[in-house]
Structure 1
Amino acid sequence: MTEAILNISVDGSVGVVEINKPPHNFFDVELIAAIADAWEDFELNPRVRAIVLCSSGKSFCAGADFSKRENVTKERSPRQLNPIYQEAIRMFACTKPVVAAIEGPAIGGGLGMALTADFRIACEQARFSANFNRLGFHPGFALSYTLPQLIGQQKAAWMFYTGARIDGLKALELGLVDALVASDQVRATALQWAREIAVSSPRAVQTTRATLLGGRLERIRQAVARESEVQAGQMTSQDLQEGVAAARDRRDPVFKD
């Protein structure tokens, strides 16, 4: 029997979704769709008032698995929305607050996944990187919208252009995470935050959240459409092949003019 890619449970008034693809929890369409399905089920459950997203294994989510050839050379029409991002829109559409427990690396699209949450709890050992440009292609998973909204245009540009990998302390300084705790307290703290939210009126919380987020979902749709269009021409490029090879060899990439 195939092991489930998600562990789903309800802890009091908190729905918990644990990604279960250790050690690095690489994502694909199946995983993102499964998370979106779980969140939609929680939305229909009046008992659930807040959600925690967490992971088993070493990484929160290390993004796409570029060791698989199809993720480096897969062709797609510029007019076609990336299927992964289509499922990600469903995550962003969730109406209940989400707290992410980030105990390990959140890299590339894994960082994008972390930013689907309202709040992020991390530890100093966590790592964050928007490493798309370093790999040779345009950012995705709506990060071109969500990251500047969260930490500001200049800081987001620095993370995008350099692909810098930052630790939990730097992430807290940038405003990328909301709280930094000991590594063995990350999940418990995320649950505590979710339980505190769950004490409030669920209708009041959801309407307040809708007011604060405004037209975010439409802007995310626009962002992933742009990301998908640009990425389509870069997924078969020499730059991507060099970027992935450099990451595998733990060296700086050498991109041609």
Structure 2
Amino acid sequence: MVLTTDSAVRADRTPVRLDLDGAVGILRLDRPPLNVLDRATQAALRRAAEQAAADSRVRAVVVYGGPKAFSAGADIKEMAAMSHAEMVAHAAVLQAAFDAVAVIPKPVVAAITGPALGGGCELALTADARICGAESRIGLPEILLGVIPGAGGTQRLPRLIGPARAKELIFTGRALSAVEALEIGLVDQVQPTDQVLDSAVRWARRFENGPALALHAAKTAVDRGLATDLAAGLAVERSVFAGLFGTEDRLTGMRGFIDDGPGAARFAGR
């Protein structure tokens, strides 16, 4: 795999950078050894996510922490020194960094190797899918420090695996093995650790030549719908569905279907 790196980003030695592998953007956490998410790393994460969202060359995104660790979570020493007033001011900044990944208008997959704990787990939850190394552990241990997840864990985890299972993990702080995480739907695939990145890039490559506007619309409909009731969610779906009828992507796709004799069979999966 050959990656090209934006030279301006690379020169900054940022703890999070955007690498390009063709049309796949790799958001690479680069704060060894465990990619601890201090405030500087959170700010870099937000910048790199916004760059991936805006770069028309990027059609899908992989979030990756390197071969040894996805992220062991927040910088506890940094957090321990913060007062109540400082955390009140910082909490919105913290969530904004993770939200920047969640709202990337393209398919996003987390490539998880090693630990994905606390903020690392919360970062993985911002992705549309998660591919996990067989030796990884994933969880939200914040309760053991006398706090709770603060970067989306209490909201995204229940939406993914259901409230009862999410509460059990949050209340106990227990870390799951990769197999346990797969069994409850917290991750979507388990792969040998040395194959995680390649598997994630293959997942992302499926969307390189896909209809970008329709993919964005589908992601918007699902994510906004999960945040509201069924009637409001259907209204969101109706709006983004109708909006696609003013795009060239829709015209191209439907014309191709009509003009292609075997198109209907392909559409039906035959």
Distance of 1:76 and 1:183 partners within structure 2: 39
Q: Which residue of 2 aligns with 1:213?
A: 223
Q: Which residue of 2 aligns with 1:76?
A: 84
Q: CA deviation at 1:217?
A: 7.4
Mapped contact 1:93–1:217 kept (Cα < 8 A): no
Secondary structure, in 3 states, of the residue corresponding to 2:213?
A: helix
Q: CA deviation at 1:7?
A: 3.8
Moved over 4 A (4+): 215-218
CA RMSD, 1 decimal: 2.1
**Among 108, 119, 124, the residue aligned to 2:134:** 124
Higher relative contact order, structure no. (Cα contacts within 8 Å, ≥ 6 residues apart) = 1
Q: CA deviation at 1:13?
A: 1.1
Structure 2's unaligned 5+ residue stretches are 1-10, 229-270
Q: CA deviation at 1:2?
A: 7.4
TM-score by length of 2: 0.75
Mapped contact 2:99–2:126 kept (Cα < 8 A): no
- The number of aligned residues is 217
Choose 1 or 2 for highest CA Rg: 2
Higher helix share: 2
Q: Which residue of 1 aligns with 2:237?
A: none
Distance of 2:226 and 2:40 partners within structure 1: 24
TM-score by length of 1: 0.78
Distance of 1:33 and 1:146 partners within structure 2: 21
Structure 1's unaligned 5+ residue stretches are 219-257
Q: Which residue of 2 aligns with 1:113?
A: 123
Distance of 1:208 and 1:74 partners within structure 2: 40
**Among 56, 73, 88, the residue aligned to 1:46:** 56
Q: Which residue of 2 aligns with 1:225?
A: none
Q: CA deviation at 1:4?
A: 3.3
Distance of 1:142 and 1:108 partners within structure 2: 10
Q: CA deviation at 1:79?
A: 5.2
Distance of 1:97 and 1:173 partners within structure 2: 23
Using a 3 Å threshold, how does the CA distance of structure 1 residues 79 and 135 change in structure 2: closer, same or farther?
closer
Percent identical? 34
